[in-house]
Amino acid sequence: MPYADQPTIVLGADGFIGRHLVATWKARGWPVHAIGRAAGDFTDRAVVDQALSAAPKAGRILHAITKQRTGKIQFDIQAELLTDNARIHLNVLEAWRRHQPQAKLVSLGSSCVYPESDKPLPETMFRAGIPHPSVEGYALAKEVLITGCKTHGDQYGLKWLHCVLATVYGPGAHTEQHRDHFMAGMIARAVATHARGADGFEVWGSPDTVRDLMFVSDQIDAVIAADQAFENRILNVTANQPVTIGDCAKAVLRALDWDAPIVRPPDSFQGAGYKSLDSTVFMNAVDWRPAVDLEQGVRMVLATDFRKEPGR
């Protein structure tokens, strides 16, 4: 049986990952029902109820809706992020149970649900400690989602999978202030400062900061592989290939053919110094491996979003 012979509902179809999910399904000839901002505010239970009741009966629901901010502003709006995201997730869970119980709910998550650690984090670290202060409200809302998937699965016999992702970048990623994740923001700043003829490349945070990073097409293929192999659990879905911020900055400089020193502003935002997932369970079970390396991914973003060839 084909992987996606039944319709797939994509929640958050206007977002960065959501747009790429819908495009992937269409490119592969898989039926897809996209639900984006036009459906209304998903903090409103009636909106979510209507959206999923009106959707075709689906084989899976890909839940990619989230309200998130990045950088220093996160510290100031954790109550807002907790409230809005918890409402969104609870509304999705209830509408899933009522209107699409035959569908497997595949939700996309973040490593923020895990505590700080100086070692790669396996799934057993979920609820084993306190998340970083900059994401405590957002992380708690994700915990509500994960726990809600499990309890709905246990009580109502529903199928689910919660995929904890890498930091994802690629064409069309958010680059506006307070919404850009580190790689998308880094590429955009590099293009702008290079065009101005700056003497140095400002990189925010310590160059030794460690993160997981994945090009968007690789991350989507990884989620598909995970969905085929797993159900009813939280699962880290990365390539076990952490990078440093310094490695990323150097890849950007090479892609731009820009010989500039890396400069760290003394007041730049610094989150957790080390955050990487242990995806051994996933990697041992699937044949998937990433196809796009770091510099290749940067060049693809430059060519697509900035229409820029290296050295020009």
Instruction: Tell whether 144 and 45 lie within a shared domain.
Output: yes
pLDDT at 308: 57
Same domain for 175 and 121? no
Q: Dihedral through CA 208, CA 214, CA 216, CA 222, nearest 10?
A: -160
As a whole number of angstroms, the distance between CA 203 and CA 195 comes to 16
pLDDT (tens digit per residue) in 106-161? 999 999 999 989 999 999 999 999 888 888 899 999 999 999 999 999 999 999 99
Residue 12 is assigned to a structural domain of this protein: yes
148 & 21 share domain? yes
For residues 187 and 264, state if they share a domain.
yes
Do 97 and 13 sit in the same domain of this protein? yes
Question: Over the stretch 21-67, which tens digit does the pLDDT of each residue have?
Answer: 999 999 999 999 999 999 999 999 999 999 999 999 999 999 999 98
- Whether residue 113 is found in the same domain as residue 191: no
Give the residue from 217, 208, 195, 199 showing the smallest Cα distance to 301: 217
Number of domains in the chain: 2
Average of per-residue pLDDT across 186-210? 88
Is 175 a domain residue?
A: yes
In a domain, 310, yes or no: no
Residue 282 lies in a domain: no
Same domain, 228 and 97: yes
Average pLDDT value for residue range 70-80: 71
Question: Which residue, among 266, 251, 258, has the nearest Cα to 206 in the 3D structure?
Answer: 266
- Is the pLDDT reported for residue 286 higher than 80? yes
Asked if residue 19 belongs to a domain, the reply is yes
pLDDT at 179: 55
Q: Tell me the three-class secondary structure of 276-309, residue by residue.
A: CECCHHHHHHCCCCCCCCHHHHHHHHHHHHCCCC
| Judgement on whether residues 76 and 175 belong to the same structural domain of the protein | no
157 and 252 co-located in one domain = no
Residues 126 and 26 in one domain: yes
CATH number for position 272: 3.90.25.10
What contacts 168, CB < 8 A, 6 or more positions away? 16, 17, 181, 214, 215, 216, 219
Contacts made by residues 260-263, CB under 8 angstroms, sequence distance 24+:
260/194, 260/198, 260/199, 260/200, 260/201, 261/199, 261/200, 261/201, 262/200, 262/201, 262/203, 262/207, 263/200, 263/201, 263/202, 263/203
Please give the model's pTM, rounded to 2 decimal places. 0.92
Question: Is 281 within a domain?
Answer: no
pLDDT on residue 263: 86
Kindly state whether residue 20 falls inside one of the protein's structural domains. Answer: yes
Q: Considering the domain boundaries, does residue 3 fall inside one?
A: no
The CATH number that applies at residue 221 is: 3.40.50.720
What residue numbers bound the domain in which 252 lies?
170-210+241-276+291-305
Residue 300's pLDDT is what? 96
Are 217 and 269 part of one and the same domain? no
- Please tell me the predicted confidence (pLDDT) of residue 312: 46
Report the pLDDT value the prediction gives residue 182, as an integer from 0 to 100.
81
* Sequence-separated (6 or more) residues with CB below 8 Å from residue 197: none
pLDDT at residue 101 is higher than 50? yes
Q: Is residue 185 located within the same domain as residue 44?
A: no
